[in-house]
Structure 1
Amino acid sequence: MDGPVLVGLDGTGNSVPAVCWGVEAAAARGLPLQLLHSWSSTHWPVPLARTEAERRSHGTEVLARAQAVVEQLRPGMRAVTELVDRDAADVLAERSGTASLLVLGSRGHDALAGFLLGAVSLRILGRAQCPVVIVRGDECSSGPAPQVVVGVQEPDADDAVLDYAFTAAAAHRVGLSVVHAWAPGTVMGGLDVPAADYGADATRAADERELLCAGLARWREKFPDVQVAERALEGRTVPVLLSACARAGLLVIGRQPHRSPMPLGPVVLALLHHSGCPVAVVPRG
């Protein structure tokens, strides 16, 4: 897709790392950059309640500061700025249909602040039609260096997830680690096999890795310049992926579309909350 990299600005310090990430993503992939802020979605404490004119003026300042960050990072890069008066989640979810990537900021890992994602971000993540990158407010990097880590369930069922992961690794010229977490009693493809009948853990791990390598063959062919490491690891998905991305610059995961009543599953929520690097959430299918 050749749509823009869209950055949603909430008007706080969380927006700066998101802008930095969006700038480098747009530059690496040769895509236009768009900055959007909804002045009507900015929530002010009661003692600091603003008039409509003041909130519009504040929104203009938010966009101007973001544009200054763009100019500082990439002199000459043009970013389209847009100030809207509609609900931020509605607008960004709608625009995600034509965007290549949506970038949002989060509060970071301040335990006193509670969950790092706000209600708006959660609503967008559950409805977005394109990949969404969540960047913490304390994140200082502006790209996925030194490597991208992607978690897969089944290579044949994770086309959208792998496509984004390989594209990001290729665009930023970094390595890609493809991680599949497996548990005793099942093999890739969903086949149930009693753990006692399967043999030693080493044999099982080798078989899982072989299946993973076979499933990635077409992606290696499509992206010959990307250095790929396949890792089939025994364990639960969340701890396996958190360990794998401990030194990564980006974790890529998939989510099931049209989930109800909760738009995001527990695995996605746990990884968003605990990951030490930015997380890209890609809708499957």
Structure 2
Amino acid sequence: MLSPVIVGVDGSAESLAAVEWAAREAVRRDRPLRLVHARNWQRRQAEGEPANAAQRQLARRTLRQAEERVRGFVPDVHLTDEQVEGPATAALLKATERAELLVLGSRGLSGFTGVLVGSVAQGVVATAPRPVVLVRAGEEAEDEHVPADDGSPSTRTGFRDVVLGIDLADACDEVLEFAFEAARLRHARLRVVYAWQPPSAISLGPGDIGLINDPAQAAEWRGFLSTVLKVWRDKYPEIEVLETVVEGKASTVLVRAASAASLLVVGRRRSERPTVPRIGPVTHAAVHHVRCPLAVVPHE
């Protein structure tokens, strides 16, 4: 049985945008789509049972709204749904274990919405065993495509670039494969971005001070990037790959590069201490500032 694309549903505008994106991605991947609503669990008591029944009814209404949205925009996807009991972080992480990927709604600068607030959002993104894609409210199918010749939005044009933010000190196959496959599914270009900063005088030894402004550093990084990507270019010869090496702060460079992307892909190292979830400063900046869908891919 094929693992599904799973999307967290809570009835918010962000959630519904995530539902539509997830439905399109399920079709692209030829996977089923599963809608999951995490509701708070209450101990069964005489006074608590009506509240539980109301929660189940609200969850059913929320899932039905999402189902109608999917059927209206992506009628051909194989669709199922389920209610799961909280805590929300644990419920969504458990659902992710059997997923191709998990899709969630995101408010960007305002944080996450619905059940995905604060530590819940951080816990899901930082500890999920499978890739997590965050989608902003208002994201539509046309936003994934380049504009038509007259500048108007269109779904008949090609896809915008998939952008991969790569860390050459930690370039992992899981992240590279996800990005190349995303580009293949969209017949899109893959723009691979690496940002580097020259070492400071404090971090260099007495004989290394001349390396601070060495103009050869950028060329060396470009050569390193080309070497890392060669095996993937050979594996995906149909994909046009653009290599971008920029001097600057990684988070700033990546947010700028993603401004016209259909999807931004970043990696996240699996924590050796899962009780202390972290996503790293670059991914944190992307979560809060990037407007296109963001894929966070875990790796060893």
TM-score interval, smaller chain: 0.7 to 0.9
Superposition RMSD in Å: 2.6
* 2:126 paired with 1:126: yes
Where 1:251 maps in the other structure, the secondary structure is: strand
Alpha-carbon distance in structure 1 between the residues aligned to 2:67 and 2:7: 11
Aligned to 1:32: 32
Aligned to 2:45: none
Structure 1: where are the runs of 5+ without partners?
42-49
Aligned to 2:166: 152
Note the C-alpha offset of 1:172: 1.5
Q: 1:57 to 1:206 in 2, by over 3 A?
A: same
Provide TM-score, normalisation by structure 1: 0.86
Residue by residue, what CA displacement relative to the aligned partner does 1:206-248 show, whole Å, maximum 9, x if unpaired? 2211110111011111111111101111111101101111111
Residue by residue, what CA displacement relative to the aligned partner does 1:140-169 show, whole Å, maximum 9, x if unpaired? 247753111111112773211111111111
Structure 1 window deviating more from structure 2 (261-270 vs 159-168): it is 261-270
Alpha-carbon distance in structure 2 between the residues aligned to 1:65 and 1:259: 39
Count of aligned pairs: 269
Note the C-alpha offset of 1:98: 2.1
Where 1:149 maps in the other structure, the secondary structure is: strand
Aligned to 2:58: 58
Equivalent pair of 2:164/2:190 in contact (CA under 8 Å): yes
Aligned to 1:269: 284
Alpha-carbon distance in structure 1 between the residues aligned to 2:289 and 2:199: 27
Structure 2: where are the runs of 5+ without partners?
42-49, 145-158
1:1-285 alignment runs, 5 A limit: 2-40=2-40, 51-109=51-109, 114-116=110-112, 118-119=117-118, 120-141=120-141, 144=144, 145-154=159-168, 157-185=171-199, 194=208, 196-197=210-211, 200-201=214-215, 203-258=216-271, 260=273, 261-285=276-300
Equivalent pair of 1:184/1:195 in contact (CA under 8 Å): no
Alpha-carbon distance in structure 2 between the residues aligned to 1:2 and 1:176: 26
Equivalent pair of 2:21/2:140 in contact (CA under 8 Å): no
Paired AA for residue 148 in structure 1: V
Alpha-carbon distance in structure 2 between the residues aligned to 1:108 and 1:197: 38
Q: 1:156 to 1:267 in 2, by over 3 A?
A: closer
Alpha-carbon distance in structure 1 between the residues aligned to 2:178 and 2:143: 14
Aligned to 1:46: none
Note the C-alpha offset of 1:88: 2.4
Note the C-alpha offset of 1:174: 1.1
Residue by residue, what CA displacement relative to the aligned partner does 1:232-267 show, whole Å, maximum 9, x if unpaired? 111111011011111112111111211653422222
Note the C-alpha offset of 1:205: 1.6
Provide TM-score, normalisation by structure 2: 0.82
Equivalent pair of 1:101/1:130 in contact (CA under 8 Å): yes
Q: 1:206 to 1:161 in 2, by over 3 A?
A: same
Where 2:13 maps in the other structure, the secondary structure is: coil
Note the C-alpha offset of 1:196: 1.9
Equivalent pair of 2:108/2:287 in contact (CA under 8 Å): no
Note the C-alpha offset of 1:22: 0.4
Paired AA for residue 206 in structure 1: A
Equivalent pair of 2:13/2:138 in contact (CA under 8 Å): no
Residue by residue, what CA displacement relative to the aligned partner does 1:43-66 show, whole Å, maximum 9, x if unpaired? xxxxxxx82212111110111111
Note the C-alpha offset of 1:9: 0.9
Equivalent pair of 1:19/1:66 in contact (CA under 8 Å): yes
Runs (4 or more) in structure 1 with deviation over 4 Å come to: none
